[in-house]
Each structure stands twice: as C-alpha cells, then as structure tokens.
Structure 1
Amino acid sequence: MGKVLRRLLIDGQLVDPGRHYPSINPATGSVIEEAPDATVEHAESAIRAARHAFDDTDWSTNVAKRVQCLRQLHEALQRHREELGQLTIAECGHTPMLVAGPALDDPISVLGYYAELAEKFAFTEDLGEHESRGAMHRRSVEREPAGVVSAIVAYNYPMQLALAKLAPALAAGCTVVLKGAPQTPLLAVALGELIAAETDMPAGVVNVITSSEVAVGEVLTTHPDVDMITFTGSTPVGRQIMAAASPTVKRVFLELGGKSALILLDDADIEMPALIAAMSICSHAGQGCAITSRLLVPRSRHDEIVERVKAHLSNVKVGNPTEPGNYMGPLISQAQREKVDGMVQRAIEAGAQLAMGGHSIDGPGFFYAPTLLTNVDPDSEVAQDELFGPVLAVIAFDDDDDAVRIANNSIFGLSGGVYGADTDRAMAVARRIRTGTVGVNGGVWFAPDAPFGGYKQSGIGREMGAAGLAEFLETKTIAVPVG
C-alpha cells in the first residue's frame, strides 16, 4: 500500500477533491498527513455511483461475486496489516494490544465471517403450498438487499465500525457510501485505496469519502436515493439522523451511546472484577461505547472495593502508545479532553469524592489521568451522561433489586457485566439488566458471530452476526397458483 493516497474513492476512481485537512496524532498533537476533504458535490457523486451500481448492475443478485470481493478485501487487509496497524496507532491513539484485537485484527476477521455467511445464507425460503379460496398456491420468501446504504462511522474504533457495516451490507447485495470520521480520516482513505487497487469490486459498489463539513453528513442522511442509514456515534446525533431520515422513511440502524454498569454482587471475590473495572475504563482511554463506566458495589463493601480498584488504576501506565508498556493512550482531541475534565469537575462540585486522577496530563498529546469517583449519586450527570474518557464512577447499592434498579436507571442500554460467586444468581441478575450485551463473571461476548447493539437510546438494530446481515435485507413474499 505504501504511503496513503490522499484521495476519495468515488465510482471506482480515486479522486482528488482539491482540498484537504490535517489528521492529528492525538498522542503528539502533530499532523500525520493531510486528508481529502469532500464537498457536498462529492457526496452526491458518490450516491449517484452507488445508485447506478445497485440499479443497473448484477451486484444485488450475484452472490458469488459478492463473496469473491469480500474475500479479496479480507486478504488485502491481511497483507497490509502491519501498515494499517501503524496508522491505527498514529491516528487513533490505540495501543498495539488493541490493534491486535478490536481495533484491527478482529475487524479484519469480520470480512471472512460474512463471506462465509453469504455463501451459505438462504436468500430464498420455500413456504410450501397453501389452500386459499379453493385453489392451491406455492409461496416463497425472498430476502433482497435494502439498496443504497450511507454508512457513517465514529472515531473511536474506525476500522471495526467501518467493516462491521461494510461487510454485511456487501454480503446482502447493497451498495455503500462510507463516510470516515472527521477525526480519523486516513484509515477510511486507506480502506478505499485497497478496495480500488486490490479487489474486483465493481465501480460504485463501495464509495469512500472523508470530510470536515457537516453538510456532507446531512446529504448522506437526507438524499432521496439513499435507502438506508447505518450510523455509529452519540445518541444526540442519532436523534438528529432519525429526524433527517423521516421525510423519506429510510431504514435506520443506530449504534449509539452507553453508560454501562458493572455489578459486583455481595458474594463476589472482588480481586478480578476490580482489575477488570480498572483496565476496562482505561482501555482506549475510556473511548468505547460499551465500556462499563459505572461500577455498582454493595454498600457494605464500598470502601474495600474502591481501594482495590484504586490500586489497579495506579498501576496503569499512560503515555504514547508507540512506547512499550503503555496500557492507556490519549483522548482523541483537546476538545474531548476538555469535555471529560469539565464533567469530572462538575461531579466533584455535585458531591462525588475524587479518589484519584481528575486532571489532564502535561506534555504533548491529549492525555488524561485515570480517574476514580466514589460515592456517586446514581442520578447525577456523571452517572447518567456518556463521558467517553477514563473516568469510573462508583455507586453503592443495598441488594440485588437495588443494583438492577440502578443499572437500569439510564436512557442507555448497551452493555454491562455482573460478578458473583453463585453463577445462577449472577445470571438471574444479568437477565434483568436491559442491555444488548452482558458479560457474566468475565464472559466475553465480542465476536463476529455475536449480535451487538442496544436497548433504549443506545440504538436501533444489531450489528455483527446473522442479525447484522438481516439489517441490510428486505423481505418479499411471493405466491403463484399451483397447476
């Protein structure tokens, strides 16, 4: 792949938009490279190309071609894994450990999963014969692609979010306009380059754009030739997208915010969950929608658990992810660091106790100290609003019912966790938590075949797994008389 080509992918061609904007390394504050800055006209061109590819080629019906292209892209990403890994570290602030997992290697595997699923998926289902009005009718159900898809991703795990949308959309037979996050545009550009150079993807099937203009995103969510929107980002923006899509009644998939709770039951051995709570909130500096940012503990064990979590947090090495041994990297920007600090200071003013952290780290880059807030009011801002930083809020509960009530006291419902010595009891609590995913006693749910998404204002629909493919399919029932 070599040096990233600073061009958009539109209708099978790499296009220089004639203007660019800087992509910033969050660990140093320096410019990595200039990224292509698409205009509204480029977005409209990409939509036209996707519309033509869907309506006027056999992409939507040629399953073998789709499987071939998915496998080609899978192989291309594997070949260029080292270069993509370096770019992921530089642009996102991910550590090598995250690159070896959810930041890059896991997303690459998603392509292989959907290629295999598309190959064996029953796009036609025979319902058999049915008698109606004195005659027999043979019926079938056809599952057809939804059409042209606008795929809009967030900055925190851009390759995972892009491929978790792109792979099932292509497997279903849709065509796509993928918009990279403004803060991490170079990874999207690199993906577009590989599609153009190393796959047989027909022109217009995948279009990749990056832009600093809000108006570009508005076109992708309102254009009449777009049939479906798949978006990952904040809940406030998700609400705006739902409103923008409503005049044309577009299908909408939303993977939005979270304020997930990790519950330690009173019989739990606290050492492992205390470690998990500390390491999870520091993973990618807390910039993950499914991170458990609320730690719910028995009131009688509050201080004991806080001390163990504090000990583990104090061992977290923070710094440039290129330096060996650093577990936590930077926040994505100075604006995000200011947002995090503002919420922490307001939490302290509202009565939360600062056990450690609560400040920016001096030096280059956008680093923030791992922060532990205790005796947090479950109704306070820091317990209710998504923060997207390395800040863990400890909340005390009285019994299992109280823990479930507090966990569900949120507009969000994305993820969560439960620890307890009695697995049956922990499972019973987990089933009462209204979230899309729950880990019990350290159980890991994240995998290409496992549906991911949220309840309530954490989103609509599911990504990954067979459920992720279904999001991009329409259902058509056909009947024909027998004889």
Structure 2
Amino acid sequence: MTLRPTDSSTLLIDGKLVPGSGGTFEVFDPSTEELLGHAADATADDMDTAIAAARRAFDDTDWSRDHAFRARCLRQLRDALRGHIEELREITVAEVGAPLFLTSAAHLEGPIDDLLYFADLAESYSWKQDLGNAEPMGIPTHRYLLKEATGVVGAITPWNFPHQINFAKIGPALAAGNTVVLKPAPDTPWCAALVGKVLAEETDFPPGVLNIVTSSDHRLGAQLAEDPRVDLISFTGSTATGRSVMRAAAETLKKVFLELGGKSAFLVLDDADLRSACSMAAFTVSTHAGQGCAITTRLVVPRDKYDEAVAATAKTMRNLRPGDPRDPGTVCGPLISERQRARVESYLRLAVDEGGTIVVGGGRPAEHARGYFVEPTLISGLDNTSRTAQEEIFGPVLVVIPHDGDDDAVRIANDSPYGLSGAVYGTDPERIARVVSGVRTGTLGVNGGIWYAADAPFGGYKQSGIGREMGVAGFEEYLETKLVAEPAS
C-alpha cells in the first residue's frame, strides 16, 4: 500500500506546515512489515519553535478568553476531519494495524465526533461562579471564582489508540482555552500529521494554538516536560515513562496529568452466566491484539468452576485468529512492531517458566508469514502472585485465576500496583454493588456496560495515573481557579 497524501508529511508549527529539520523517518505497516512512506522528523530546535509559538498564541491573543470562537473552531475541525474520514481510516488501519471495525468507534470516528462535546462545553461551562458576600476579618466582601485556562499544554501520546488519545487531550485542552504542542508516538505519526494539515488548511484556528511535532526522537517528549514555558504536561503511556515525565515536570512544578498502565481484572461471580462472561473476556483481550491499557487481562473465576471457565474461554479464543486489519471480520490484528512482539513473546516464555500452561495460542500464526502477529493466548495454572499476572504485557494474553468467593475476588482484583479498569459479571444486584464498591479502579463495567464516552471521565487509581481524561472532570484538568474578592456593595 502507498499512501501518497501523507508521504513525507509535515509538522504543524505556528500555523504553518513545515518539514522537519531532521529530514524524515520511515513509517511501516505492522501487518505486512512493508514500508508505507515517511514522516517529518523534528529536532529539538523544531520543538523549541513550537513551544515558543504556543506561548505567544496564549499570551498575546484572545484565544483563552473567546469561548464562542474556540467552540466554532473545534466544530470546524470536526466537520473538516469528517470530510477526510476515509483517508484517515486508511491511514489508521495501515500504520496502527487497527482492525477496520474499530475505526467506526473508538479508533477514529468516535474521537472525532467527541470534539463536538468539548465545543459545546466551552460555551456552556460556568466560567464564573459567585460565592456571595461574607465578612472575613469584619470586612464586607463579595467573592467570586474565575475558571481560566492553564496556559501552554504539552501533550505526549502513545501509538495504540492514537486518535482517541490525541483528541482526548487536544479537545478539552483547546476548549478550555489553552494552546497545545502535541508530540505523537513515532510509530504512528501520520494519524496526527493529517490532523495538522486539515487544521491548517480548512479551519480558522489562529497560528500557534495547536502545534503538532512528529519525530523519531523520544527525547523531544522530555524536552516538553522540562521546558519552563510549558504549564501542563498531559501524558499517556507506560507507568515507567510516566515516572520520568513526572520527575522532569517537577523541576518547574508544572501541572501533570498521567494516564498510565493497567492490569485490569475481569471478575466472574458464582451466580453469573459463566460461558457468556468467559466468552466476553476472551473477545475483549483479543481486540486490537490486547493493545489497550484498560483491557481486562486477568480473568478471575470461581475455583469450583475453574476448569469449566478455562474450557469456555478457550473455545472462544480459538476462533479469534489474528487477521488482516483491513478485513471487516478481523478482531485481533497485529502488534505494532517487532519490538512489541518480542516483549509479548518473552512473557509467554515467562508464564511457562512460572509453572503456567498455555491452553490456547502462545505462538505466531502459521497463516501469516509476515506481520507482527501473535495468537490470542490463554494461560492457566498461575496465581495472582506470578509476574505474568502482575505485569502489563500489552498483548492478547489472558491469565485465568481462581477465587474463593466475592471478597476474595475483590482482594485479587486489588492485589495489583495498577487500578485502571475492570469488569464484574453476576446477577445479584446487592453482591455486585458490594464488589463495585470494593474494587479500587477508575472505571468498572458491570455485565457488559460500556464506560467509554465523551462525557465520562477516564483515569486510574494507584500507579495507573493521576487525574481524569474526558468529561467535565477531564476538561477541568486544563483549568486554573482564581478567587476574586472585592468590597461588598
């Protein structure tokens, strides 16, 4: 496949589409290992220019104060991107390896449409809140709160769901009145680059309000985090990298939002429809080859139904063969790179070394001679103390763990450094309510309930992150609060 519209794509800096000072870097198709084309390769100087542009746009224009104009620009961007939806779809499937069916939802169309939610919020939000009169120290005083944009936002995003994560940052940040420098992952630069091209050519966004800097150099993310002209860092990625971002940001005491790793538990209570629940767990972990931080990767089932649960899960998983992401029927596409496949395969070897049994999968599919595919894999015979059950693998790998009742299921779910997401299946509402209140995660689906939406805040407990993304809570991550006091009239 050759995607000529974005071959040798450009950076968006200060309203202009410009080449990268470092030339270009290669973009590959993870399903075929073929070279797709090239992306603009920014240098530290390019990033410096982008930060300066964002700083000027915030300090020297009315962008942060003109709520209606911001809403109009965001709606323009959404409509313009809709006009390029098929081009965006082709790019997303090609460079991400995203299954085609997901581009109608969280991999493309959903995130683009979410811009409308944040446009509406820019206009409807209560930017001024009256606190009424009081007499502190005997002085009659009228007080009110102003909500104001934080300033320049540095957004650093990963490769697994690039549109969803990019728009979950730039949508609320821009709606709140900030200016943004977006540094997307080098594995998926085109998804961001085309957004920059559309914004520059088809919207009224002022120069410098959004800057998009693609690069093969991971150090540009650290540069964003360290620069004193940047007021807030919004980062999604691994917990290890999140720690580094937080340390770098601490030097200038900038605000930090972190959405990090997960090892979420899928809890099946003893009154649940076991086969239905296990089938859903198998489908979930296989979707997009398990490359999602909130995907449930620990299946926790009643001990006396363990063998039945393993059999039911295996039956579904055997039918979820890795396939060409361009096929509408594909659920499990490729991993993003050879590096990521090697990581997943190292965990499969570790599972066996720890005493686990690979029930289904565990290898590369014979039907795909090329592409970074790994079979959806089910592992039994391990408990929750194993590294395979504790560490984030980021592949289509599910570990089945037995529990001894509801309280034990909650204990296992919480016995993790992470607390991002999870699922509970059962029939007794009171028991489900107790489990929900006991599990320490930022999101929790009950009996198939979907927690993802533009108005629903997403984030984690413990080492899964700091803060929330999406919804009003996510919007307010990008705001400061100013208290104003004046003499009471």
CA distance in 2, matches of 1:147, 1:324: 42
Which amino acid is the alignment partner of residue 437 of structure 2?
A: R
Among residues 16, 19, 28, which one is paired with 1:16 in the alignment? 19
1:87-131 Cα distance to aligned partner (Å, 9 max, x none)? 110011111211011100110121000001111001111111112
User: Could you tell me which residue of structure 2 aligns to residue 6 of structure 1?
Assistant: 9
CA distance in 2, matches of 1:119, 1:275: 43
Alignment of 1:142-161 (within 5 A): 142-161=146-165
User: Could you tell me which residue of structure 2 aligns to residue 126 of structure 1?
Assistant: 130
Paired residues in the alignment total 483
Among residues 460, 470, 481, which one is paired with 2:476 in the alignment? 470
Residue 447 (1) aligns with residue 453 (2): yes
Q: How much has 1:66 moved relative to structure 2?
A: 0.5
CA contact (8 A) 2:299 2:401 kept: yes
Which amino acid is the alignment partner of residue 426 of structure 2?
A: G
CA contact (8 A) 2:322 2:365 kept: no
* Worse-matched range after superposition: 347-356 or 463-472: 347-356
Identity of aligned residues (%): 50
Q: How much has 1:430 moved relative to structure 2?
A: 1.5
Q: How much has 1:320 moved relative to structure 2?
A: 1.0
Which amino acid is the alignment partner of residue 350 of structure 1?
A: E
CA distance in 1, matches of 2:448, 2:191: 31
Alignment of 1:66-465 (within 5 A): 66-362=70-366, 363-465=369-471
Which amino acid is the alignment partner of residue 441 of structure 1?
A: N
1:171-210 Cα distance to aligned partner (Å, 9 max, x none)? 1100000011110011110111111011100000000011
CA contact (8 A) 2:75 2:115 kept: yes
Report the secondary structure of 1:151's partner residue. Answer: strand
Q: How much has 1:133 moved relative to structure 2?
A: 3.3
CA contact (8 A) 1:35 1:186 kept: yes
Which amino acid is the alignment partner of residue 462 of structure 2?
A: K
- Structure 1: unaligned runs, 5 residues or longer: none
Q: How much has 1:2 moved relative to structure 2?
A: 7.5
CA contact (8 A) 1:88 1:94 kept: yes
CA contact (8 A) 1:451 1:465 kept: yes
1:5-39 Cα distance to aligned partner (Å, 9 max, x none)? 61100000001124111111100001111001100
Which amino acid is the alignment partner of residue 370 of structure 2?
A: P
CA distance in 1, matches of 2:128, 2:329: 52
Which amino acid is the alignment partner of residue 206 of structure 1?
A: L
Given the two structures, how large is their TM-score scaled by the length of structure 1? 0.98
CA contact (8 A) 1:341 1:360 kept: no
Report the secondary structure of 1:3's partner residue. Answer: helix
* Worse-matched range after superposition: 320-329 or 242-251: 320-329
CA distance in 2, matches of 1:401, 1:178: 43
CA contact (8 A) 1:265 1:298 kept: yes
CA contact (8 A) 1:260 1:291 kept: yes
Report the secondary structure of 1:28's partner residue. Answer: coil
CA contact (8 A) 2:101 2:328 kept: no
CA distance in 2, matches of 1:352, 1:275: 21
Report the secondary structure of 2:371's partner residue. Answer: coil
Report the secondary structure of 1:252's partner residue. Answer: strand
- Structure 2: unaligned runs, 5 residues or longer: none
Report the secondary structure of 1:53's partner residue. Answer: helix
